[in-house]
Amino acid sequence: MPNRSFSNKPVLLIVEDQVSDLKLLSAAVQDLAEVFFAKAGREALDIARQCRPDVVLLDIEMPGLSGFEVCRMLKADPELLHAAVIFVSAHTKTSNELLALECGGVDFIKKPLNVPVTRARIKAHIALRNEAKRLANHDALTGLPNRILLQDRTEQALKKARRSNGRVAMLLLDLDNFKVINDSMGHSIGDLVLQEVASRLSHSLPLQGTVSRQGGDEFIFLLPDVLGFDAIGDFAGRVLATISTPFFIQGNRYNIFASIGISIFPEDSGDIESLYRCADAAMYQAKVLGRNRYYFFSDSIETSMRARHLLDHGMRSALEDGVFNVYYQAKVDAKNNKVVGLEALVRWCNNDGVFISPSEFIPLAEETGLIVSIGRYVLLQACKDAKMLHDLGYEIPVSVNISVVQFRDEHFLGMVESALKETRLEGRFLEMEITEGVLARDIDNAREKLMNLKFLGVGVSIDDFGTGYSSLAYLKRFPIDVLKIDKSFVRDMLVDKCDSAIIDAIIKLAEALELKLVAEGVETKEQSDALLKKGCQVMQGYLYCHPIPITQMCSFLASRVEFDAVSIENLP
């Protein structure tokens, strides 16, 4: 019996015990479909379970089961119920036609047969069935097989591989940073890009393979009967090269790249779900390693993914239980010996009393969207603490880091306004620290949001300045108050002439644009002296203060009748 899952030709089953009618029907439809025959009801059911017909031509009066009984049994079988059943009978009473429809039939053709009309009606039902299958099994945007059809083809490929001791490869492809195109250019452009990607992937496909769109910007290749790992790697490399060729959509050029994760049956897994899970884990590892590459699954990836899942679960529990903490690091005017600001930093201590590094959980929180909830918590707590310090007589602003995900959230401005209103904090005592990358996406929307922040009185600071977006045009287009010199430049400024020169340039730029400056990562007196000499007064780093809880920060501020460099050791 042929493998129906990999054939695009429709299948038609003729159930007829009269030889003359069988010949007429066969002649009428032989070029329309792959045709199978049965002369009795039980035989028809057995054959149907093997060939999975799209259309069944069914006589009413037959040996054993009647056509009505066969139709009911077809419609009761989950794998056969979608077949279009057309009754072909000499029993032309209206009651028979009605009963045929009640049993699940879609048409009733009367004998003796008018062959041209019969052929036309059968052809129409085959076309309807094909369209129904296409809608059910193919992605509406790209026309590629969808998850349902891919699952069916994977099952068939695995069955064949088990019988022949063969291999099946699954390659999960995810476009790198595709969301930027959707967010900056609109979903209509994003859809055109996805359609072009689908076209390129289809043309890359081996004869026996399948490429499917699973949703969003995720595509899956299924390669049955693979001969070796090298061939799979070569294929993945060709696919990456195909995707990286520039796209030209409506006159604009888009450079798009992808990451591919690869899993192999039987080496990596023995069923569809685990095969997909392994490919997904490998794809994630490809992104971690720098994107625009492929990666084969391994046990170490599986271990990493489990740890990632536990980390995500732990973050959600920590947020629900309120165990995230907000620590503060002082910004010090080294020339005038006074604290001029604080930066709020989220800290997470797990159930074992161990601090989880922000570099571990913040990227995952951004990827999952949990950063929006975490950011809301940090912002509200920072505003509460800033108001408390203000009431104690410390009129210093508190800055809060805002990720790209938070900034693009539609409720971002409302969240800021609500936090200020709830805590009764004046906007001038709050500062938003954003990275350059935030401003590189959807410039008009970013400018509008920053203008609204300024309307609330909130300051805007560019964090990690000099490490992100290459254009400086935004400095004159956006309402920015502060540039923060990245710690990577400060760290080696005394031994690296390039870093020292970059700091000189940033300071001169800030002076020309009348922007305030903060140098991050200041850890030695020599660095502080050099920065003062260059013209940067405000500094932040371990030389002055480690990140500490608000209670310790209150003590720290109270002790500073006159500024001395203070290093608080052994704090998170």
- Please, what are the domains in the chain? 4-136 (3.40.50.2300), 147-297 (3.30.70.270), 328-559 (3.20.20.450)
SS3 112: coil
Weakest mean pLDDT among 95-109, 321-335, 370-384, 432-446: 432-446
pLDDT of residue 136: 67
Phi, psi dihedrals of residue 322, rounded to the nearest 5°:
70, 35
Report which of 378, 341, 338 is spatially closest to residue 358, judged by C-alpha positions: 378
Query: How sure is the predictor about 133, in pLDDT bands with cuts at 50, 70 and 90?
Result: confident
CA gyration radius, the chain: 34
Does the pLDDT value for residue 470 go beyond 70?
no
pLDDT of residue 101: 87
Rounded CA-CA distance 185/442 in Å is: 8
Give the Cβ contact number of residue 122 at 10 Å: 24
Determine contact, residues 442/410, Cβ cutoff 8 Å.
no
Weakest mean pLDDT among 195-204, 208-217, 397-406, 561-570: 561-570
**Token couple for 161:** 């591989």
pLDDT in tens, 66-92: 889 989 999 898 888 888 898 988 887
Does the pLDDT value for residue 565 go beyond 80?
no
Rounded CA-CA distance 468/271 in Å is: 43
pLDDT of residue 468: 57
Measured CA distances, 313 to 362, 370, 376 (Å): 13, 11, 19
pLDDT of residue 300: 67
Does the pLDDT value for residue 569 go beyond 70?
no
Please state at what angle helix 443-455 crosses helix 412-423, rounded to 10 degrees: 10
Average pLDDT over residues 437-445: 73
Q: Quickly tell me which residue has 């695009």 as its tokens.
A: 8
Query: How sure is the predictor about 404, in pLDDT bands with cuts at 50, 70 and 90?
Result: confident
Top pLDDT among 135 and 496 is at 496
Does the pLDDT value for residue 327 go beyond 90?
yes
pLDDT of residue 567: 37
SS3 270: coil
User: Which residue type occupies 239?
Assistant: V
pLDDT of residue 572: 37
Instruction: Tell me whether strands 252-254 and 247-249 are parallel, antiparallel or unpaired.
Output: antiparallel
Average pLDDT over residues 249-278: 89
Does the pLDDT value for residue 438 go beyond 80?
no
Top pLDDT among 497 and 134 is at 497
Q: How far apart are the first and last CA of the chain?
A: 68
Q: What is the DSSP letter of 222?
A: E
What b/e readout covers 491-502, taking b as 16+ CB neighbours within 10 angstroms? bebeeeeebbeb
Does the pLDDT value for residue 421 go beyond 80?
yes
Top pLDDT among 300 and 483 is at 483
Q: What is the DSSP letter of 51?
A: H
Rounded CA-CA distance 46/88 in Å is: 20
Does the pLDDT value for residue 266 go beyond 50?
yes
Rounded CA-CA distance 296/341 in Å is: 48
**Token couple for 256:** 């798009």
pLDDT of residue 571: 37
Top pLDDT among 19 and 169 is at 169
Give the Cβ contact number of residue 198 at 10 Å: 19
Average pLDDT of the chain?
A: 86
Does the pLDDT value for residue 279 go beyond 90?
yes
pLDDT of residue 365: 87
Rounded CA-CA distance 174/284 in Å is: 9
